[in-house]
Amino acid sequence: MGSSQMAPATEMIHGDCLETLRRFESNRFDLIVTSPPYADQRAKTYGGIQPQHYVQWFLER
């Protein structure tokens, strides 16, 4: 990147994507990075969803 070019802005936003993304206009983001599905390891948070049920669990939301 040349000295006259600016680096793209980077911002980290933490939250539930279904709630957080509603605050932004469509086509705002070029990339969203999320953590792997740890639902089966976070039983108190997610109810202990087993890996074979992840897809259905995500679709229901």
Residue of 3 and 57 predicted with greater confidence: 57
Binned at pLDDT 50, 70 and 90, residue 23 comes out as very high
Tell me the C-alpha distance between 17 and 34, whole Å: 9
Q: Give percent of the chain above pLDDT 70.
A: 64
Q: Which of 32-36, 37-41, 57-61 has the lowest mean pLDDT?
A: 37-41
What pLDDT score was predicted for residue 3?
A: 59
Specify the 3-state DSSP secondary structure of 2. Answer: coil
Report domain extents, the chain. 30-61
Tell me the C-alpha distance between 15 and 8, whole Å: 22
Is pLDDT above 80 for 24?
A: yes
Is pLDDT above 70 for 2?
A: no
